[in-house]
Structure 1
Amino acid sequence: YLPPDANTLLSVADHVLRSRDHVNVIVAGKQPTFDWLTLDEARAHCARGAGAWEWAGTEDGGREPDVVLACA
């Protein structure tokens, strides 16, 4: 997992700590991060598995993205 903000990290950590019989890796820095998403938005983002943030990108409305890479 590569959570882009603190609230997504909380959501990912909750998921990982509740999981069983899986190897989970969370990549996160030690420095304070921005809260780009609210906790509810972060949970929804994690439940979808992937997403495009309209306010953070330049995607074209009706087309699927070719590749999505994100980090913070």
Structure 2
Amino acid sequence: MYISKHQRTSETKTGAFVQSAFCTHAGSGLSNTVKTIASKCPRATVLNGFAMSGQTAQNSQAAAKRDTLKWIDGIKLK
């Protein structure tokens, strides 16, 4: 898995590694992505993931932006 092979390149100066998953989908959401990241990167702090339907992303840019910013605010990424 790419992320487990490259997690060292995402570490901060303090050695902390923070990961979050986000995607667009046609019905499956994040599926088991967050659990997979946590199992492959045991030293990582895995934040809440975000999944948006592809239909929303394509057809409702205002809703897509609103929901994405709400997620970013919720995980304190700013």
TM-score by shorter chain over 0.5: no
More strand as a share of residues: 2
With the length of structure 1 as denominator, give the TM-score of the two structures.
Answer: 0.30
Q: Point out the structure with the larger helix share.
A: 2
Q: TM-score, normalised by structure 2?
A: 0.29
